[in-house]
Structure 1
């Protein structure tokens, strides 16, 4: 794991600590003024800061490429049995949960609540020939309430599945609540892309082609489908704390920024949203347990992959428009950035956390987005190339080459493949319950809801997660106090002895570091500034291959050889 602050600290340490103590400095009057004694002449021309950035860029791109092979040192997969395999990957699963910031306890609840308008009497939001749609809300963590749709197949749809149910349940069908699972072939959590709405994925509002309305088609197959609303990528100009308008950020980046500082993540928040539904489904399983599936597209595919990797209660996972090599994640929206992820996890490694449960990967074109950098992080989003998807799936299979059973990873490829395609749905449903078939590839003709309600729901969700992060911030001083309780400040020696574990945590988990040995400093200097009583030198040192440290060293002119004086470090940001 590494952060930009790592290079800032290396620069400050080398220039002010090592250089000042290791090189016999004298005043400008006692040596050739163009360089510092015992250093080579600095010959780099132009903007040295840009040279530094370019070198760090090359270094990090190389490290990203090397991370694929380096990940194996963090895994100890035991293929001697299915049980042994599950035990052996638990430490990696726990690490993933930590990276995603799954630190908050989820709220237990009896049932989701129907979201009724003041003038509405029936909880049914919309009826189709195959299912009833409900607007629902459910608690996640703290005071956060998620929102979305629940599609419940009607009795006619359920009968087509030919699943047998006891007569007393059949007689009570009309009296049942929508949360009962007797007339559900399976439970599915369907996740749209960030720029899609639950209504679109359910075919209740325009915007998604009928063949890709996989939430609707899964409900028409006899599954109960819940579709959470995800935070969108919509660009919004934020009001400055100092008056006027500030940066223009995507909704996802806005929540990502503050959550990141608290060790949380917007992706982790949305995984919690999914897992809170899994908690509820599991707590209300009937005599015959119905299987649970999670399927997502684009950003929803990312959340489905993480949720499936973390929770063994999810029986099958479907990922579309997302799976592939992750080494170019730095080009993608910053809200996908997870500190330290690639040290242990690429998508192939995440797939190995899902096994022995089934994983369906659809190599469909992903969402396309161009996020301008107007105070935020610029990014371009393009769906994974089918060839890259194939390569990453192949790598997952190679990681599982010694697995004791058949590897349950299915790749769906095809020219012009839409997301939520027929082949992908067939495999996904077959893994949920043998014999289920996707609903017809035909649009339904519902009355189109007022789309302003979609934006209102989105703003409620943003406000809820933002407030949760701020509440976490308010509690953080108490958390830090508890965390630092082992630091002994009764004496300097006690402090020095007890501070080291905290320094290790700060280095490894906050700033990040590379284990590469530092290169010889090879100091190069050049006089650049001259004041009445001081002389300023540009200083360049070697750090790693392609990486230099660069700064300005200002020396008083009356400094004598061998003389030691205090050093003041001024680090700009």
Structure 2
């Protein structure tokens, strides 16, 4: 809302002593045209709590919205399978199961000239140590249970991540007898292969030349893989499907087609469910101890975080993709996880919080009932069964679940009681070192992901083709398309509210200085979501005058006041650059961004990712609404609003102005670098793979847009980087190489004078020299001398 500029000018000409409160003088508080701001808690806490409420409500509402993504055709089984083809493809993409598998020679028996591959046996079957090829450079390794008689079916059995394959078959302690499912299957003439899963231990989560962490192995792989559009889940689904490839190969050799199944417990249950949904060759799926409502997934370990999953795929929808085949849901006990491992000697604490609890029966039943109608409409309700093992708290492997799984494999139960299997270890077998096997499997995933990282720049260049944009006109033909693609794929959009939300601006005076006055501001963005900050207004504004605005953004765990005051410890980083700019006659707005509160804000990312959203899904609309309000102020020139951010504010500089076109320039300070490598490199001390900022990872950034590509999206608007040589964010070499791409991009379009980088001999801080000149030049502002 506008207010009379003459009134504002009169008010601003009154001489105020420093930091005099509004209550001591008869001055306008709130800012004319706004309502009083009466927050009882800090703005950042109110902001984060509001976004949290919004995200939790969106999660709770997601099951009602998912049907929009499905177009089931129940005319026939074939029509149904065809109707979910695209959903299945999207599912495989979001779990990162997208790389071509390599064809292998079969299950390779591990033996030597002195030692055999058979590590145990009984009259019904032998247990072999095996491995098989999966991806280029990645194998699976575990056990193969080979029946001595006719083979009735073939099954991949997946243990929980806390269990080794040897534990799953009782050769090592730790798994209840009833949960030793592979033994029950192999005793019935079923060939069973058991892959090793990446464990929840933390022994290898780090690097000898950096440091080691307490992150579970699954989280350490998840972090780097997520940045590259891959996932520890997708890698292990690929291991299951590679085993199915080998089953298919055996069928061809033997001239027959045997039914294929997959069964898993706990983490293995997750993989069984996802594998059964991903590959139609699997006839029967048995999910033990995983299936339930998934809207609280943000409370589970971060390695279960899947970008955009709950927009389309709850557990019910995943189970429905198994139709018309058989799916058995067993509610049972699984290993409970109370959090990441405690740091051991030589490890640093950096793991994300997350727990695994036994699914509540009511949650399992509610999710099952959402999946059941799909099977019923296909006339196959018998193919989806729900079994409670001792009311959902007993061990996996109940007789009813086993019978239903065998039914799906078209194997008739022999009414004759099958005696318990007693495996006898062999004396001349190869020695299986489970710890060494885990390390080898972990290292292969790590190295595969690092190779994706090394190739990702070539992939981005091929997608973006920056060399073809030799003029601004050519670029602007494609810029909006690319901008929208990056927004949707990397950042994620909030849905537009059903009704327009009024700005509802509230203010209160918080600063009185000789040269400026400051108001704390809060306004509405969407229901529960607010934007806010501190507006600094020069006192020497003349009636009717409109001045440029610089939006000055704080960094991680910061507040707007950090960018203004000169006497606290924040000055070392910010050099009170907001105050310095307002003293030079510019209007300054210092927003509060929601990255404050440690886990309180970091879990926002966890609550948002399943709905294809990130922190910047909220931050971009906050800035849009803020600019809407600023532009309506009578003393603001809405055509001259620029952005300048440090650290996390520099991260904002390449994620907000490129998508908010009203910003006429952007300055990234103390953050610009080879960001994809910084998030995915598992052997460099600068990498976030090692550190506690678990919210920092962005889905598939390596194949969507690095900082160079994000900066392209600023063009033809000016863009600048401010870089201290001693800034610990990244080495100069990373910064220079990434910025060189931006410089080339601008220069070849003939606008090289609109981008620059300033290096200075200093740490992670605002320098305020070349950047201030950049601001004054591109805002066409003749600076006033700072007093």
TM-score range, shorter chain: 0.7 to 0.9
Partner of 2:186: 219
Partner of 1:12: none
Pairwise CA distance, 1:358: 0.4
- Which aligned pairs between 1:187-336 and structure 2 lie closer than 5 A? 187-236=154-203, 238-239=205-206, 245=211, 247-285=213-251, 286-336=254-304
Q: Is 1:341–2:309 an aligned residue pair?
A: yes
Partner of 1:509: 489
Is contact 2:324-2:375 (8 Å) kept? no
Change (3 A) 1:125 1:347: same
Q: Is 1:543–2:525 an aligned residue pair?
A: yes
Secondary structure at the aligned position of 2:291 is classed as: coil
- CA distance in 2 between counterparts of 1:459 and 1:491 reads 51
Secondary structure at the aligned position of 2:437 is classed as: helix
Q: Number of residues paired by the alignment? A: 525
Pairwise CA distance, 1:119: 7.0
- CA distance in 2 between counterparts of 1:306 and 1:330 reads 18
Change (3 A) 1:308 1:61: same
Is contact 2:71-2:84 (8 Å) kept? yes
Partner of 2:72: 77
Deviations 1:62-119 (A, max 9, x none): 1111100100111000111111111111111011011111221111111222223x67
Q: Is 1:435–2:415 an aligned residue pair?
A: no
Change (3 A) 1:284 1:80: same
Is contact 1:185-1:433 (8 Å) kept? no
Q: Is 1:391–2:357 an aligned residue pair?
A: no
Deviations 1:460-507 (A, max 9, x none): 111110111111011110111111138963333432331112222222
Max radius of gyration: which structure? 2
Change (3 A) 1:533 1:460: farther
Partner of 2:674: none
- CA distance in 2 between counterparts of 1:22 and 1:323 reads 58
Is contact 2:29-2:508 (8 Å) kept? yes
- CA distance in 1 between counterparts of 2:120 and 2:410 reads 27
- Which aligned pairs between 1:395-410 and structure 2 lie closer than 5 A? 395-406=370-381, 408-410=383-385
- CA distance in 1 between counterparts of 2:474 and 2:8 reads 37
Is contact 2:3-2:33 (8 Å) kept? no
- CA distance in 2 between counterparts of 1:95 and 1:246 reads 35
Change (3 A) 1:349 1:539: same
Pairwise CA distance, 1:37: 3.8
Match among 50, 53, 66 for residue 58 of structure 1? 53
Match among 112, 116, 119 for residue 122 of structure 1? 116
Deviations 1:430-482 (A, max 9, x none): 32133245953455454799999211111111111011111101111011111
- CA distance in 2 between counterparts of 1:370 and 1:433 reads 39
Partner of 1:45: 40
- CA distance in 2 between counterparts of 1:555 and 1:120 reads 84
Match among 85, 95, 102 for residue 107 of structure 1? 102
Structure number with greater CO (CA < 8 Å, separation at least 6) is 1
Pairwise CA distance, 1:269: 0.6
Is contact 1:538-1:553 (8 Å) kept? yes
Pairwise CA distance, 1:145: 1.6
Structure 2 unaligned spans of 5+: 15-26, 343-348, 557-787
Is contact 1:143-1:464 (8 Å) kept? yes
- CA distance in 1 between counterparts of 2:35 and 2:431 reads 67
Q: Cα RMSD over matched residues? A: 2.8
Is contact 2:117-2:430 (8 Å) kept? no
Partner of 1:476: 456
Point out the more displaced range, 459-468 or 30-39.
Answer: 30-39
Change (3 A) 1:152 1:72: same
Secondary structure at the aligned position of 1:289 is classed as: coil
Is contact 2:156-2:194 (8 Å) kept? yes
Point out the more displaced range, 122-131 or 64-73.
Answer: 122-131
- CA distance in 2 between counterparts of 1:397 and 1:47 reads 47
Is contact 1:217-1:440 (8 Å) kept? no
Secondary structure at the aligned position of 1:391 is classed as: helix
Partner of 1:519: 501
Partner of 2:555: 572
Deviations 1:233-284 (A, max 9, x none): 12458557985x4642111111111111111111011101101111111122
Change (3 A) 1:280 1:535: farther
Secondary structure at the aligned position of 1:370 is classed as: coil
Deviations 1:142-174 (A, max 9, x none): 2112211111012xxx2xxxxxxxxxxxxxxxx
